């Protein structure tokens, strides 16, 4: 099981350009044409897989970002958020993980605050089972919102093996979940499960539209 209390000791033999980071206005450069995101096939969750005292929803579907096709791999959750926006930490962070044909990883992150219940999140918990299993198809496409503003930078996976060259897109507009929806996660899994922010070093962060 991944121990977040011992995260400073996680083996990181891959270098120093890591994730998550604190996204501060002064480190950001504007890029009007940052992303041209198009859905190629809807993102459909099909299997719930329990691992490391958390769970993921494995699925299918694809997006095209700047003319490169990325296939949807999985959705998983961190509580509280891993990325900060100007030092602000959110209640949750959802990671939609994609890979292209060359094996490069791209993650679209959604930050989450308390508010109205989230319909897709509810569908996921209604389908949740302790043992990994196939579930009725859940359409996850609406989690990503084309035309939202986002931050983009190059970082890493936030769990071992902490592999770098991960392309991050963090939507600045938070989703909401209700208090009881948030509580559900805390009841089932150990939290916190967020990696602490990592040094930016000399990376640039871009700001633009999805
Ligand atoms: Zn993650």
In this predicted structure, the answer to whether residue 113 has a pLDDT above a threshold of 90 is yes
CA of 82 to the centre of ligand 1 (A): 8
**H/E element, 181:** helix 179-188
Mean pLDDT score across all residues of the chain: 92
Does 197 fall in a domain? yes
Tell me the CA–centroid distance for residue 115 and ligand 1, in Å.
22
What's the domain range around 164? 22-209
* CA of residue 95 to ligand 1 center, whole Å: 5
Distance 136 CA to ligand 1 centre (A): 23
- The answer to whether residue 204 is domain-embedded is yes
Across 26-48, b (16+ Cβ under 10 Å) vs e yields eebeeeeebbebeeeeebebeeb
* pLDDT, tens digit (0-9, with 9 covering 90-100), for 174-185: 999 999 999 999
The continuous run of DSSP H or E covering 184 comes out as helix 179-188
Residue 5 lies in a domain: no
For the stretch 38-48, pLDDT in tens is: 888 999 999 99
Residue 37 · residue 73 · CB < 8 Å: no
CATH number for position 137: 3.10.200.10
- Longest Cα–Cα distance of the chain, Å, equals 45
- Per DSSP bridges, beta strands 37-51 and 105-114 are unpaired
- Over range 125-146, report the average pLDDT: 92
Q: How many domains does the chain have?
A: 1
């Amino acid at each position: 099981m991944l121990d977040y209390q011992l995260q400073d000791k996680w083996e990181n033999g891959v270098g120093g350009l890591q994730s998550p980071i604190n996204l501060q206005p002064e480190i950001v450069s504007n890029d009007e044409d940052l992303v041209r995101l198009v859905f190629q096939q809807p993102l459909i969750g099909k299997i719930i897989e329990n691992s490391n005292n958390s769970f993921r929803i494995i699925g299918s579907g694809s997006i095209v970002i700047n003319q490169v096709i990325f296939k949807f791999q999985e959705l998983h959750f961190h509580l509280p958020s891993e990325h900060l926006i100007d030092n602000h930490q959110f209640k949750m962070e959802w990671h939609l993980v994609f890979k292209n044909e060359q094996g490069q990883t791209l993650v679209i992150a959604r930050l989450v605050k308390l508010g109205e219940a989230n319909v897709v999140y509810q569908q996921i918990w209604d389908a949740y089972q302790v043992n990994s299993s196939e579930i009725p198809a859940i359409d996850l496409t609406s989690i990503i919102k084309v035309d939202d503003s986002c931050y983009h930078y190059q970082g890493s996976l936030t769990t071992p093996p902490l592999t770098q060259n991960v392309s991050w897109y963090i939507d600045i507009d938070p989703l909401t979940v209700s208090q009881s929806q948030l509580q559900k996660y805390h009841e089932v899994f150990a939290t916190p499960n967020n990696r602490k922010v990592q040094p930016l070093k000399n990376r640039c962060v871009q700001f633009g539209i999805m």
